[in-house]
Structures are given as C-alpha cells and as structure tokens.
Structure 1
Amino acid sequence: MRIYYDARVSGLDFDNTAQAKQAMNDWVKEATRGKIPSIIDQIEPSHILFLINTVYFNGEWSSRFDKSQTTDAPFYLANGTSVQVKMMQQKEEFQYYQGEDYSALRLPYGDQSFAMTLILPEGSGDANGLVNDLGNGLWEQLVEPVTVSEVNVYLPRFKVESTYNLIPALRSVGMERAFYDVKGFRNMADDDIIISDVRHKTFIEVDERGTEAAAATSIGFEVTSMPMVHEFRVDRPFVFVISEKETGAILFTGKIENPV
C-alpha cells in the first residue's frame, strides 16, 4: 500500500470500537479540511479492515463573480415549480459550446489547470439524459477544442452534501466476486473476507470566489473569438464536471436539481 499507493497503513484496536472509529473519522476530517467530519458510523464485530480514500479540491475562479451583482432569481425545478436562489452573474470570455439539445460552458480555476464544465439541457430537456451521455461520448466531445466567446453567465450558488452506497453501482459494472467470494482476498489476508460496505461521501460548495470540494470513499482549447455575446443562464437542472485540463480526468461530477 505504501509503495504503490503512497497510503498510510495504521493498526487499530477494533475491540475498542469508539477509539478506532474516532481515529478513522479524525483522519477523514483532517484530509478534507473539515468538510467531511466523519464517514464511519459504526464498527461491527465482523469488521477487520477499512480502506478509506479522500479527495479535497479548493479552486478560485480565474474570473471571479462580483458579489454586488448577485441577485435573487428563480430556478425552475423538474416538477414545474420554482425556488428562489442567489444567482451570480458576470460577462467574460469563456469556452462555450452549443450542441443540438444542450449547451456547455467551461469556467476555469486559477492558472486554468482545472475547470468546471457546466452542461445545460436546452429548454425543458432532461438533465438525467446528460448524465448518461457523459459516459457515452459526450465528455470526450466536450474536452476537444471549442470556441471562446463572450458570454453572459448566470449561475446559482449551490452546495451539495451527499452519501452513497457504491455497492449497487460497482456490481452493475461487473464487480461481483468481491462481495461474496470469501477466497478472493487470500493474497491480502489469511481469513476468509469479503467487502461488506462501500460508502462515498461528497461535499461541494460553489460561490462567487470559486469551488471547495471534498470526497471520501470508505473501503486544450483553440482560442478564437466571435462578435456574438451568448447568454448562459443556469436556471434549471444542470450537470457539472470538475476536471484537470491536460488529461481531461474528472475529479467530481454531479447533477443539480435544486441548488437550495
């Protein structure tokens, strides 16, 4: 673990469940700068091992939103109702893409090594379809060079805190044996063991300054210009992706149905 993953291996007394749980949760809290205070709820007598991974991201927009320009505005939900949100806005040159049934905008962070890509369905389009399309070629299309245009951007502040059980997702992509084959980990432990729980926690907050994001799991562009000013108004469910520029690697992705 240390050699291949630069991971810390710690021996804990699982008979002292309170102390062991506190030690693991303290590590997660420190690694995520307090954004995820805990991930282990309890330690069962059958538990012998926890694999815990964290990701922390704190990025300031290359072009910040002016707080004085933030106003109350409606955000239209999928069920036809609306909620009031704090809508940030700015006019700047951004990488912008217009597809047949969606539009996309890339908001860079800092020195532009990282960016948030916002993907917005056209009209009353379904954001769920965009989530599925990300794994079916849409993301590869979006990381290709796109046009730089002047854009009026309207983006709500939002914060996401979520917890997921990843076992169903892992099983759906073919990872089955790890959850029932007691001989599958013989190179790791002498005892018969299986994976009993895979839990993922995420925290993401977006405001005028930028984005702070954390996750814990237990277990370029051609520059051209156009005279037209586009409007990118995020006032309905949308998809976001935080990625690294050179590789296109995705750090975080999500769908926002209600920002408040």
Structure 2
Amino acid sequence: MPSSVSWGVLLLAGLCCLLPGSLAEDTQGDAAQKTDTPPHDQDHPTLNKITPSLAEFAFSLYRQLAHQSNSTNIFFSPVSIATAFAMLSLGTKADTHSEILEGLNFNLTEIPEAQVHEGFQELLRTLNKPDSQLQLTTGNGLFLNKSLKVVDKFLEDVKNLYHSEAFSVNFEDTEEAKKQINNYVEKGTQGKIVDLVKELDRDTVFALVNYIFFKGKWERPFEVEATEEEDFHVDQATTVKVPMMRRLGMFNIYHCEKLSSWVLLMKYLGNATAIFFLPDEGKLQHLENELTHDIITKFLENENRRSANLHLPKLAITGTYDLKTVLGHLGITKVFSNGADLSGVTEDAPLKLSKDNAILCLMGCPPAGRPVLPGPQLPG
C-alpha cells in the first residue's frame, strides 16, 4: 500500500451488532498481528443467537438502498429499523406477522420467536449500558391516542421487551401531538434531531417512535490544525472540495482480496469501532455484493497495524428512506397491503400505517376500509 492514501469513494457501514466468529482470512501485504479471539459472551445467549440474522438483514437492506439510491450518500441504522419492525410484529398476526420476522432474516424453525424478542431486549439493554467514554442510547416511544383501547398484552410486551415508554396524546390536536413527539426525540438525541415530525394526520391513533444516538471520540484523535481542503472523488466524473482530516501514524489497515478493497478500522474511546472501506477502482458494487457478517467479524478479530498517512473526509450525512419498496424486496409486503392484520395492537377498529419521518403511525381506517399500510419512513 502506498504511504499516502487519499480516501476517494468511501463506504461507511451502518451500525449493526457484531460478535466474534472465526479467525480472519489472509490479508495482502505485511503479516497480520492476530489478537486473541474473545469468547462469546455467555451472559447473552439470546443476543448471540439473533446477531447473525440482524447483521445479514443490515447488509441486505444496504444493498437494496444502494440500488435505490444510485449515486447518493447512504446513511441508516439497521438496528433502529429492525427494532421498530420487530416491536410492531408483536401486534400483528397471521401472514403479516410471519413476513416481518422472516423479512428481518429470522428463521423461526431454528430460533423460537420468544428468543428473537428476548434477543432484542438484551441488545437494547447492552446498547444503553452506561459508558463513561462514549454515548450510545436508543429509545422507543409509544404515543397512544387518549381514546384508543390498546391490547394489554401488546402494551406489556413492548414495555418489557423493547424498553418502550408510553405517552397519552390527543392526535386531534395535531400541533400539540407533533410537539410532544418532537420534544421526545430532541431530548433523546441531545438536541441533534429537532422538528422531526413535520405533519401528522388527525386520524392518527398510535405512533411508534424509534431513535438511536451515538457520540464518541476517537481513541487517537485528529489534530484540528491538520485539517485542510482537499479533493474528494465522488465518482469518475465528479470531484468536490471537502475538509480532509489528516494524520500520519500506525493504523489497523490492510487490503482484502475478497472484497477488492482497502479496509480501515478505527477505535473510539470505549467499546466501539468504525470500519471504513475504500474499494479498488470500479469495484464498489463488488464490495457491496460481497460484504457479509462473517467478513466483518473477521476484520474485528484481526489486528494488522502499519504506517500510513491517512486522509479522511469530515462527514455530515443524513438519510430518509421510503421503506415500502425496499422492505418489499426483502419479503415484507403484507404489512403494506389492505390485508394487513394488526389486530394484536387494538381490536377497536381496523388500522392503517401512515408514513412519516422516523415514526410508524397507525391510523383509523374509513368505516368500509380494511387495514391499509402505505410505506413508512425511518431515519438513518
């Protein structure tokens, strides 16, 4: 690898829960200094069981978003999306129910549904565990219309398994309802996400809000004075000027032949690692197609430090997606159709799912209607 690397096309993998697996594959260049493989955490057996499925869902979702987004930036949290739909599945029945769990990549013949939800319970408990060196928090809020009679078991399960908070609101007063939801998200993300909900239908009876917030510091920070404007190559035809962070030093960096990409792992203070990929010229799609949970796990278990002059662009990315089409390609279709069964949430009346940024809204259907679920949108 040349001593100076300018990171052009950059792929940043979304957050997913990854646990140790097998040893790393052979890497090109200097021999890797392999660290001891940490044992699986025996205190979290259900979390260990759902981790591979969650990771494969993350990569499948990424590939669909990459295909949909074409040349735009992609930024999303698969944990947030999976958590929201797994929680919603507690209120679904029949095909609607099975499609959601199978679309999240869970094989219910291999892992009982109860263990799936227990795994999410442990995942959320782990993510929200206090850490003095980094901040990682998640939140699940249930905003229930004052007149809605929610099935007791659904309310009990989402509170116990998904650490959800429940709030009573009057959705007929849309401005006040928006204010309550936006204040909840703004507080949970320490002011980073404000005015998330722009519009609410007054027929809304139930809103499920999910957020994830991460704030960390590099274990070895970049010097502010070393940041300079440099070229960033978006593609072969587009080059833009961006603030480029620079540092000369030893990095966990190597070339992966299988992915046709350079791989960089950078640690945060605390128990978190960022993984960056620089595909070989013309190999971005190959990288996207080949990236798997097992490969990422191997990277995390492998230590290959070498000297490099790293140039890394400062990032500020947001993303909002219509998941109806994307999840449809992953087999989740029934919940977006007139035949969706959400009777596990309430037996008052048929419901429909409305789309709004970062929330799933259940709304009362017209008297002659069946449950109708237009595509929801969740944030990155």
What is the TM-score of this pair, normalised by structure 1?
Answer: 0.70
Question: Residue 329 of structure 2 corresponds to which residue in structure 1?
Answer: 172
What code does the residue aligned with 2:217 have?
E
Q: Which moved more, 1:125-134 or 1:93-102?
A: 125-134
For residue 275 of structure 2, the aligned residue among 106, 114, 117 is 117
Q: Which moved more, 1:132-141 or 1:54-63?
A: 132-141
Deviation by residue 1:16-68 (Cα, 9 ceiling, x = unmatched): 01100111011111111111112222112432211111100000000010112
State yes or no: 1:195 paired with 2:353: yes
Between the two proteins, what is the percent identity of the paired residues?
23
Change over 3 Å in CA distance of 1:131–1:39 after alignment to 2: farther
Deviation by residue 1:137-187 (Cα, 9 ceiling, x = unmatched): 543443342412222211011211222222222222111111125551111
Alignment of 1:78-93 (within 5 A): 78-93=235-250
Moved over 6 A (4+): none
Q: Which moved more, 1:168-177 or 1:131-140?
A: 131-140
Q: Which blocks of at least 5 consecutive residues in structure 1 are unaligned?
A: 200-216, 220-253, 255-260
What is the TM-score of this pair, normalised by structure 2?
Answer: 0.49
Change over 3 Å in CA distance of 1:24–1:66 after alignment to 2: same
Q: Which blocks of at least 5 consecutive residues in structure 2 are unaligned?
A: 1-157, 361-379
Deviation by residue 1:71-101 (Cα, 9 ceiling, x = unmatched): 2211112142311111111122222121232
Conserved in 2, the CA contact under 8 Å of 1:179 and 1:196?
A: no
| DSSP 3-state at the match of 2:296 | helix
Greater helix content: 2
How far apart, in 2, do the equivalents of 1:43 and 1:182 lie?
A: 24
How far apart, in 2, do the equivalents of 1:65 and 1:183 lie?
A: 50
For residue 264 of structure 2, the aligned residue among 87, 96, 105 is 105
What code does the residue aligned with 2:302 have?
P
Change over 3 Å in CA distance of 1:141–1:195 after alignment to 2: farther
| DSSP 3-state at the match of 1:197 | strand
Give 1:196 shift: 2.9
| DSSP 3-state at the match of 1:36 | coil
Deviation by residue 1:175-228 (Cα, 9 ceiling, x = unmatched): 1111125551111111212323264xxxxxxxxxxxxxxxxx312xxxxxxxxx
Greater strand content: 1
State yes or no: 1:75 paired with 2:232: yes
| DSSP 3-state at the match of 1:90 | strand
| DSSP 3-state at the match of 1:10 | strand
What code does the residue aligned with 1:125 have?
G
Question: Residue 33 of structure 1 corresponds to which residue in structure 2?
Answer: 190
Conserved in 1, the CA contact under 8 Å of 2:174 and 2:202?
A: no
Conserved in 1, the CA contact under 8 Å of 2:253 and 2:306?
A: yes
How far apart, in 2, do the equivalents of 1:128 and 1:34 lie?
A: 36
Conserved in 2, the CA contact under 8 Å of 1:166 and 1:198?
A: no
What code does the residue aligned with 1:119 have?
F
Change over 3 Å in CA distance of 1:182–1:198 after alignment to 2: farther
What is the RMSD of the two structures over their aligned residues, measured on CA atoms? 2.1
Q: How many residues align?
A: 201
State yes or no: 1:49 paired with 2:210: no
| DSSP 3-state at the match of 2:265 | strand
Question: Residue 179 of structure 2 corresponds to which residue in structure 1?
Answer: 22
Question: Residue 299 of structure 2 corresponds to which residue in structure 1?
Answer: 142
| DSSP 3-state at the match of 1:51 | strand
Question: Residue 359 of structure 2 corresponds to which residue in structure 1?
Answer: 218
Change over 3 Å in CA distance of 1:53–1:17 after alignment to 2: same
How far apart, in 2, do the equivalents of 1:34 and 1:11 lie?
A: 23
Conserved in 1, the CA contact under 8 Å of 2:244 and 2:312?
A: yes
Conserved in 2, the CA contact under 8 Å of 1:121 and 1:130?
A: yes
| DSSP 3-state at the match of 1:11 | strand
